[in-house]
Chain A
Amino acid sequence: MNRRSFLKLSLGATIVLVSVGGTARFFQRSRRTSASGYQVLRAQDLLFFSALFPAVVGPHPHFHMDTALASLDRMLTASSPAMRKEVYDLCDLATFALTRGPVTGVWSGWRQISVEQASAFLQRWQHSRISLYRQGYQGICQLCQMAWYGVPQAWHAVGYPGPPEFLQRLWEQ
């Protein structure tokens, strides 16, 4: 099968699988609530983003998973119901056992995944002709990047000195 027909197949498959994804959610009510300590992120979202964060952020010397996930959770909490639904749908599609393999190419599951495997997945979506995947790629990267580079631990290593320190004292009594 050449690249072109493979992609064509995926498009058809996606349409089927998106609806399977919906059904999957219906039967997994327990997984619809946010994980403990989080406002928005559920267990499957944490699984998915934990697998992808290192691949997206790259070799940042101070990367810290819990900080990154908490930051992402905070961003999503402030976003809209529509945005949260998009993220939930994406994570369900990518983590549900029936859809995961065909949609993401990650057949073995996200838990033990290497950075190389996660990168291969990102690359596959980045270059996909299916706009749903390209949108997913962009969404994942932008959310993870904004979440991580929004926290002070991330700044020093990329040469951002942070806001001038005297500002902290400006409004102190």
Chain B
Amino acid sequence: MNKDVYTLGMDRGWNIIDARSSTQVMSSPDVIIIGSGAGGATAAAALAKFGKRVLILEEGSLKTAKDFHNDELKAYAELYQEGALRTSKDGGISILQGRTVGGTTTVNWTSSFRTPASTLSYWRTHFGIADAQEDLLRPYFERIEQRLHIERWAASPNENNAVIQRGCDRLGWQWDVIPRNVQGCWNLGYCGTGCPTNAKQSMLVTSIPEALDHGAQLIHSTRVQQLVWDNDRVTGVICQPMDSHLHDTQGDVIHINAPLVILAGGAINSPGVLLRSQVPNPHRTLGRRTFLHPVCMNMAVFDHAIDGFYGAPQSIYSDEFNAIPDGPELGFKIEVAPMQPSIVSALMGEFGEQHHQRMQQLANSNLMLALMRDGFHQDDPGGQVELRKNGDAVLDYPLRAHLWATCKQAFLRMAKVQFAAGARSVMPVHALGQACTSLAEYETHLQQLPMRIFDVRLSSAHVMGGCGMSQRPEDGVVDPSGRHHQLHNLYIFDGSIFPSSIGANPQMSIYAWTQKLTEALIERLR
């Protein structure tokens, strides 16, 4: 019989509080960390090990392996922001982000890439981030890779991923194996609903336990509404418990003071907290330059079983088109998505008889995606986080001509890969998309499809930026050490500090940058 990590930890005396049933906040914490995801957990572990009294505040609840039943709708409702129905302001892009202890890392798909050199170089040149260099970051990446057991996936890819491999091979296009943060992975395929075997080395089973072992307190099911600040310093936070189903806040607000605050709510939410707090924003940079790696997709049908709902969801990628182009169009990375039925049903297109027929081909279908690398051109400033009337954060992300042009390119390239891999038919994931049985037919079909909002089914699982790092206060929100340009004891350590998108799945970039910046912070605290 298995014993849950958290059951064992609590037996050892871990300090975990559900804000809905207790108000026992640790006395005089040295540092408050808002959010328990990639950035928050990494910072928490380092600071707790250093001996600081760390208090972690998390809006989501504590769900662990024993609660993960590979049930899509249960997972979306319990573990995702807005029940996985979050969208950009005009509804043009679906946005997936986690909300649970461990943040998005608890539900992510485990692909682990270092920050591409071309991205680092862009940050050096355009934002004055001198440390954005492969050599300087290498030791941090190596340590993270060791700690999270990151290795190239050694088993064979599932058929869904093999389509990229086979197609690219035939076309002479680049492809490679994806490194994954797993240990003893059972190759099940349910990463997105929370790993039921604790094989995924998410923050839930690595850095959060490490922080708790070193005396940190975790208060979950509480939302930080605002920071309290005065002149150039933050004095504490105001938070409020969530209701029993985490739908809204409810009950008495609590005020907690600390000499140091680390904001790690993730992109969209971190700028949201700062906007609600009305922190100084002299250059109107807060929430700007938020990026999504907008994704467009192709659905192909094969004569043999693909069973994309089983097996490591992402194990092969292609960077054939992922360089930063000279012009305003975007580079894109090709990957596939896991194919559990609820989420895939929303991408099959059409309705009624046609939709039903397409669903019956689920097991023979391959869902390929292009992650578009936004934020690397002066005409591509990304989106802007705003507040709704009720204080909820929302991302206004205008869909610009260059994005549509890139979608067209990406659709066609993916179709080439799928046909080369032997697809019987390929269909763009578009409200008017139809299955085409040859590349020529697909190309003609694509020319006729309007590239416009709601028709092209865009989505995103990688939200970055909004509190960007910059040397000059005019260009961002935090300095290259992660410190807020105007509030000097406030640090931001999460995906929101990147000045552009990453150009690869972002979790490793967040771990490594947070590790580096937290260690530098610790040096200053000595």
Contacts and interface: CB of A to CB of B under 8 A. Distances in A.
A80 B268 CA distance: 15
A60 interface: yes
A50 interface: no
B247 A138 contact: no
Given A77-B247, A78-B247, A82-B394, A163 B363 contact: no
A141 interface: yes
B351 A56 contact: yes
B247 to A, nearest CB: 7
Given A80-B85, A82-B392, A148-B345, A58 B1 contact: no
B117 interface: no
B346 A145 contact: yes
B342 A78 contact: no
Contacts of B309: 160
B29 interface: no
B83 interface: yes
B188 interface: yes
B360 A159 contact: yes
Interface in B48-105: 65-66, 69-73, 76-78, 82-87, 91
Interface in A89-108: none
Given A167-B70, A168-B69, A171-B65, A149 B342 contact: yes
Interface in A115-173: 115, 119, 122, 126-127, 131, 134-135, 137-139, 141-142, 145-151, 154-155, 157-160, 163-164, 167-168, 170-173
B448 interface: no
Nearest to B1: A173
Contact of A160 (B351, B353, B363, B455): B363
A25 interface: no
B259 interface: no
Given A59-B356, A75-B83, A154-B341, A131 B69 contact: no
A51 interface: no
A81 interface: yes
B314 to A, nearest CB: 19
Interface string B347-367: 010011111110110110000
- The A contact surface, by secondary structure, is helix
A58 B353 contact: yes
A96 B390 CA distance: 27
Nearest to B73: A150
B22 interface: no
Contacts, number: 152
Contacts of A150: 71-73, 341-342
A146 B82 contact: no
A167 B341 contact: no
Interface residues of A, number: 52
A55 interface: yes
A32 interface: no
A78 B76 contact: yes
Contacts of B441: none
Contact of B359 (A79, A119, A138, A149): A149
A147 B73 CA distance: 8
Contact of A163 (B73, B91, B190): B190
Given A58-B351, A58-B356, A79 B85 contact: yes
Interface in B322-348: 340-346, 348
A160 B362 contact: yes
Interface string A19-33: 000000000000000
A154 to B, nearest CB: 7
A126 B431 contact: yes
B4 interface: yes
A158 B70 contact: no
Contacts of B340: 160
Given A158-B341, A158-B362, A170-B196, A80 B351 contact: no
A137 B457 CA distance: 12
Interface in B398-455: 431-432, 452-455
A158 to B, nearest CB: 4
B378 interface: no
A59 B359 CA distance: 11
Interface of B: 1-2, 4, 65-66, 69-73, 76-78, 82-87, 91, 188, 190, 196-197, 245, 247-248, 309, 340-346, 348, 351-357, 359-360, 362-363, 388, 390, 392, 394, 431-432, 452-455, 457
Given A79-B83, A146-B73, A149-B345, 12 more contacts: A56-B352, A57-B352, A58-B351, A74-B77, A80-B86, A115-B352, A138-B457, A145-B346, A149-B341, A163-B190, A167-B188, A171-B196
- Give the 3 A-B CB pairs with smallest separation, nearest first: A78-B83, A58-B356, A163-B70
29 contacts: A55-B351, A55-B352, A58-B356, A58-B357, A59-B353, A74-B73, A77-B77, A77-B247, A78-B78, A79-B82, A80-B82, A81-B248, A83-B87, A119-B352, A126-B432, A135-B91, A138-B431, A141-B351, A141-B355, A149-B342, A150-B73, A155-B341, A158-B341, A158-B359, A160-B341, A164-B188, A167-B69, A171-B2, A171-B66
Interface of A: 55-60, 71, 74-83, 86, 115, 119, 122, 126-127, 131, 134-135, 137-139, 141-142, 145-151, 154-155, 157-160, 163-164, 167-168, 170-173
